[in-house]
Amino acid sequence: QRLANQIAAGEVVERPASVVKELLENSVDAGAVRIDVEVEQGGSKLIRIRDDGQGINKEDLALALSRHATSKIADLDDLENIASLGFRGEALASISSVSRLLLASRSADAVDSGGWQVEAAGQEMTPTLAPAAHPQGTTVEVRDLFFNTPARKKFLRTENTEFGRIDEVVKRLALSRFELGFSLRHNQRTVHQLQPAQSIQEKQRRIGLVCGPAFLEHAVYIDIEASGLRLWGWVCLPTFSRSQPDLQYFYVNGRVIRDKLVSHAVKQAYRDVLFHGRHPAFVLYLELQPALVDVNVHPTKHEVRFRDQRLVHDFLFRSLHKALADVRP
């Protein structure tokens, strides 16, 4: 069983950033409003994520660490219709098979008088349940990632590179969930401190904190709707992007994606208006009826398939073309 977990862990747990991604998705699924991430040594020494979500019942704590224990699929029909980010029920099991994991939680249910915790480390089978002082919500602490799989540990890059990937995971989520508060600390230093953002001004403020003030300075805010599609967000003029590394975030119905059709439409618009399509920088949100897009092509690959590719491409091209032409220097 543990071996099966370790094998499965290869798919989910490639590096510290993949742990952070899975744990953040769990916190979002649990309805958290505030999520705090603490990392040491690029995540290989410690990853701790605390949320104020619905928590886990005492009875379900140990179960949460076992394989295919998911509370998110009630029946097979659900598989077709997954709203929550996680649904495979193997992240915690996989992570705990290659680390020392502590899961502490206090559920929102009134029947639980206090918090509880379980610990699991690598091959050790049965997690032991103990009382824990914990406010409502959940903390997952992952220490010494890959301590028992040295071959995989060898594949980790430098501390800064691994932390950079974690930072990227947090940023991606922070840019799609404005209504949640986030913090990120690395080696005791605060990297992000983001308050929940409701108004457009607050969202803009978050964009500045996440993408940097230079991005905001050169960006225009757009919000365009046509034929059932809506595109909003921030597009940058190349005055910014030429001197900066690529900064490209594109969300479809709240999910970050990388898509050829989207890149093509964006590039085309830049090229048409500014005579070159190099390094466009943007944070954009496309919203459309769920029936018009297939986002479950692969749970981890950030791919989508639009039902009407031509419609989406033309809409993106036209919207960006107009936005860029309006502000062309």
Q: Contact residues for Mg ion (CB under 5 A)?
A: 26, 86, 91
What is 222-274 written as a DSSP string? Answer: EEEEETTEEEEEEEE-HHHHTTS---EEEEETTEE---HHHHHHHHHHHHHHH
Quick check: 64 binds ligand ADP (CB under 6 A)?
Answer: yes
Q: Which stretch binds ligand ADP (CB under 6 A): 24-32, 174-182, 200-208, 260-268?
A: 24-32
Segment contacting ligand ADP (CB under 6 A): 1-9, 21-29, 269-277, 306-314?
A: 21-29
- The DSSP annotation for 170-226 comes to HHHHHTT-TTSEEEEEETTEEEEEE----SHHHHHHHHHHHH-HHHHHTEEEEEEEE
Q: Does 70 bind ligand ADP (CB under 6 A)?
A: yes
Out of ligand ADP, Mg ion, none, what residue 172 binds, judged by CB under 5 to 8 A for its kind, is none
Nearer to ligand ADP, 44 or 54 (CB): 54
Give the CA radius of gyration of the chain: 21
**Which residue is listed with tokens 């091959």?**
123
Question: What's the min distance (Å) between Cβ of 139 and ligand ADP?
Answer: 8
Q: What's the min distance (Å) between Cβ of 328 and Mg ion?
A: 45
257 binds, among Mg ion, ligand ADP, none (CB under 5 to 8 A by kind): none
Assess 27 for contact with ligand ADP (CB under 6 A). yes
Query: Does the protein bind ligand ADP through residue 43 (CB under 6 A)?
Result: no
Contact 98, 149 (CB under 8 A): yes
Among 40, 45, 48, 71, binds ligand ADP (CB under 6 A): 71
Scan for tokens 């916190």, then name that residue. Answer: 27
Which residues on neighbouring strands pair with residue 194, listed in sequence order? Answer: 182
Cα separation of 40 and 277, whole Å? 39
Q: Does 127 bind ligand ADP (CB under 6 A)?
A: no
Three-class DSSP labels, 52-120:
CCCCCCHHHHHHHCCCCCCCCCCCHHHHHCCCCCCCCCCHHHHHHHCCEEEEEEECCCCCCCCEEEEEE
Q: Which does 27 bind (CB under 5 to 8 A by kind): Mg ion, ligand ADP, none?
A: ligand ADP
CB nearer to ligand ADP: pick between 96 and 241: 96
Contact residue for ligand ADP among 53, 122, 127, 181 (CB under 6 A):
53
Question: Which of ligand ADP, Mg ion, none lies near 259, with the C-beta cut-off 5 to 8 A by kind?
Answer: none
Q: How far is the CB of 197 from ligand ADP (least distance, A)?
A: 22
Cα–Cα–Cα angle for 152, 155, 159, rounded to 5 degrees: 115
Q: Are β-strands 248-252 and 229-236 bridged in parallel, bridged antiparallel, or unpaired? A: unpaired
Smaller CB separation from ligand ADP, 93 or 266 = 93
CB of 37 to ligand ADP, least distance (A): 12
Residue 86 makes contact with ligand ADP by CB under 6 A: yes
End-to-end Cα distance, the chain? 62
Binding site for ligand ADP (CB under 6 A): 22, 26-27, 30, 51, 53-56, 64, 69-72, 86-93, 138
